[in-house]
Structure 1
Amino acid sequence: MARTVLFDAGRLLQRSGRTTPTGVDRVCLAYAEWLMGHPDVRFVPVRSRGDHLTALDRKWFGELAASLRERWTGNGVGEAERTLTDLLARPRGARSLSGPVSREREPRRQAMTRLLMSRALPEVSRGTLYVNVGHSGLTSPRLLAKLAEDGARSVLMVHDLIPITHPEYCRPGEGGRHRTRMRLALKQGSVLVVNSDTTAKVLKAFAEREGLATPTVVVAHLGLEPPFAEPGWRPAERPYFVHVGTVEARKNLTFLLTLWRRLEELRGGETPALVLIGRNGWENESVMDHLERSPPLQGLVHQASELPDAALSRLMRGSRGVVAPSAVEGFDLPAVEAMAMGVPLIASDIAAHRELVPKAKLIDPLDGPGWLKALDRAARGDGQPAPYKPPSWSSHFQIVAEALGMKPGI
């Protein structure tokens, strides 16, 4: 007998105009594809409007998901080769490079499309699952309470609690908003899926501080998309390193750029380039000051964005190593991707990295001399990939399906 699953598509709708996904976007798309293809699931895409859910046309949403998959994966060859050629050919003094600018859909048109594709929500009965893996819309106690009254179970994913534990790295006010989300998840979620033991421990500590009981918590490491899943490190002749992630304070990029300035002082023209791949985020004024005003970094540190997965994986494979000096993470997807591809990884010695990539070169995020030594060795070709068995979406969904009393369906 098929089980009805109401999948919250809110985040994918909001990101439908983007050229490239964030890590959370990837998770939302992977879950949508899994549930749409599950033989025992009656899949109903929904979006929240205040205290209510509205269904979306199933066929239209399926086509949207397929278009996102195609766009976010890309063909890789053209984009990566053009970007890499541009990087290696740039003389010192050239400032940065970037991919094509993402074209967000015009809000009024997007709202009209959603309205036209809205459908009546089917009757919610006992056994129905409401699945929300994007943190979106988790602000209405009434919505989840009404689902529970009708016999539905809410399956929610917690990606991290960084806005609560480290509000200084986030937008002003985000700590309070995320506290509301997490309290709601703890109070009304039937099953909470977390991406790491690290996140699970932080979530349980938060619940204890708030005086709340913890529902069923399922730890399932996130899977990788195909361009990142197979080994194949092929470093380019001219050395460069890559950092992947939003340019924001918690990524510790001010520290990284200070290291690169010191490298330039020590190695001069032999200094490897650094490519920061990701959108500009928040609380990053110090990073931007380094990029825009530090003469030694001009033409040495580049920014690239809007690269689909196939292009991104090729750039990572061509580097001397991926660097991940983050101060805090819940699940560091680029670090896992680097290890899966056999690309040397130099990462901060923090809880998430010790759990996910223990065989990487882990260094305290404040140990400047240690980082300089590791970077210098890797730039000279001494970096070697470590054996690594990456997590997969198959194993992730097997864990989740078992917790929900479902067949894996994959």
Structure 2
Amino acid sequence: MKVIFDCTSLTNWTGHPTGIQRVVSEIGNELLKCLPSVYLGIFQSDGICLKYNLEQRTTGETVNLNANDIVITAGSNWDFKEHHKILLGLRKKGIKLGILFYDAIPCILPFTYGPGFADIYKEWLIETIGACDIAFAISENTKRDLKNFADEHRLILPEVKVVRLGDDIPAAAGAPSEEIIKKTSEPYLLTVGSIEYRKNHIMLLNAWRYMIEEQNYIPPKLYIVGRQGWLDNDIEYQIENDLRLKGRVEILKGLQDIDLRVLYEKTMFTLYPSFYEGWGLPIAESLCFGKPCIASRSSSMVEIAPGLVRHAHPLLLNEWVEQIRLLADNPAELKNECARVKRTYKQSSWIDTALQMRDGLFCSHPEIMEMDE
């Protein structure tokens, strides 16, 4: 029996992996250390699996797959239909399929994605659950959502094992840009995440409008960091053309890793008003830097650090304004909260993620443990 960790989503990837590509890269790298029998593999369009060297980003000799071997995949396979078909075909040959599920959000909030995507994702999820022998999820909330989806569609879902994603902050080389250094010279708040409807940036814009216009209060500057995503509500246009927001809210694009690191280090605290998440990595990243976060009281976001993260309802403006002002107007409270975060938040490493995945494999297939001894 062999275990193959699918790295196909890293094919042709250049630069530092981000998002799902980073998850694949980090878990693959750590599985090599804690599961000696594992192979990293990339599947070609003809279905042949080649050994993959993560460090050099090169492929090697063919990995011959046999019945009862296990292939684990953590990529965005809904975006790659041909690769998805290859994985489904493996199971027909007696090869077991393990899946890391991130979320079921397109099926829960289909209106937060572009036209047609929810149907594509739903079809992928139905087929994947139906072909899944080993299931992992990145949160208890995703585990519940998968079970509800499977029950609704009368699918048999194997026992889902939750693995917590690592939140180590990648090392950042070089020096921050002069522009970023200048921007951090005055008090500001930070929100990180793709600029799309689901991330609910409009709540923050409206909170700033309310504080400025209705409360005659000038809040700290707000920096929004993220790439363009689905249905963004023309956030950038609003910021540029609303005199209440101009100069108080700004979108920052094309940042280097070191720039984002400095923004986290210097911010007063962070905000994350998303409607729904499979996890919510920017919350954990904020805590890693010792910075409190006000996040939505929703989905997986309440799991990340109970008691350390402040929460507000994603639809209630008054709750966001109250929480923002409570920390912004009380330096002593903010200082104490930062100290508590630094003192008590326990970071999760990617080796922890890989160990949880390995232990999940051992639980369902104990013979793997014997092979590694």
Using structure 2 for the length normalisation, give the TM-score: 0.83
CA distance in 1: counterparts of 2:73 and 2:258, whole angstroms? 27
CA distance in 2: counterparts of 1:20 and 1:42, whole angstroms? 21
CA distance in 2: counterparts of 1:404 and 1:251, whole angstroms? 34
Query: Structure 1 residue 179 and structure 2 residue 179: aligned?
Result: no
Instruction: Name the residue aligned to 1:196.
Output: 139
Structure 1 residue 394 displacement after superposition: 2.7
Q: Contact between 1:163 and 1:174, CA under 8 Å: does it hold in 2?
A: yes
Q: What SS class does the counterpart of residue 302 from structure 1 fall into? A: strand
Q: Contact between 1:204 and 1:214, CA under 8 Å: does it hold in 2?
A: yes
Residue ranges of structure 1 left out of the alignment (5+ in a row): 65-116, 229-235
Structure 1 residue 269 displacement after superposition: 8.6
Q: Contact between 1:55 and 1:119, CA under 8 Å: does it hold in 2?
A: no
Residue ranges of structure 2 left out of the alignment (5+ in a row): 172-183, 363-367
Q: CA RMSD in A?
A: 2.6
Query: Structure 1 residue 46 and structure 2 residue 53: aligned?
Result: no
Q: 2:345 aligns with which of 384, 388, 409?
A: 388
Structure 1 residue 218 displacement after superposition: 0.9
Q: 1:17 aligns with which of 2, 14, 18?
A: 14
Q: What SS class does the counterpart of residue 126 from structure 1 fall into? A: coil
Query: Structure 1 residue 135 and structure 2 residue 76: aligned?
Result: yes
Structure 1 residue 53 displacement after superposition: 2.3
Q: 1:358 aligns with which of 294, 306, 309?
A: 306
Structure 1 residue 250 displacement after superposition: 0.4
Return closer, same or farther for 1:155/1:307 CA change in 2, 3 Å cut-off: farther
Question: Relative contact order, CA 8 A, sep 6+: which one is greater?
Answer: 1
Instruction: Name the residue aligned to 1:369.
Output: 318
Query: Structure 1 residue 399 and structure 2 residue 356: aligned?
Result: yes
Q: What SS class does the counterpart of residue 192 from structure 1 fall into? A: strand
Return closer, same or farther for 1:194/1:57 CA change in 2, 3 Å cut-off: closer
CA distance in 2: counterparts of 1:5 and 1:227, whole angstroms? 27
Q: What SS class does the counterpart of residue 130 from structure 1 fall into? A: strand
Query: Structure 1 residue 7 and structure 2 residue 1: aligned?
Result: no
Query: Structure 1 residue 273 and structure 2 residue 221: aligned?
Result: yes
Q: Contact between 1:129 and 1:153, CA under 8 Å: does it hold in 2?
A: yes
Query: Structure 1 residue 126 and structure 2 residue 67: aligned?
Result: yes
> Deviation digits for residues 244-294 of structure 1, max 9, x if unmatched?
110010011111111122233367794311111110111013423312321
Instruction: Name the residue aligned to 1:218.
Output: 161
> Aligned residues, how many?
342
User: Partner letter of residue 27 of structure 2?
Assistant: Y
Structure 1 residue 42 displacement after superposition: 4.8
Structure 1 residue 203 displacement after superposition: 0.5
Structure 1 residue 314 displacement after superposition: 2.6
Structure 1 residue 155 displacement after superposition: 1.3
Structure 1 residue 13 displacement after superposition: 2.4
Return closer, same or farther for 1:396/1:299 CA change in 2, 3 Å cut-off: same
Using structure 1 for the length normalisation, give the TM-score: 0.76
Instruction: Name the residue aligned to 1:168.
Output: 111
> Deviation digits for residues 325-361 of structure 1, max 9, x if unmatched?
1111110001112123320111111131222232211
Instruction: Name the residue aligned to 1:260.
Output: 208
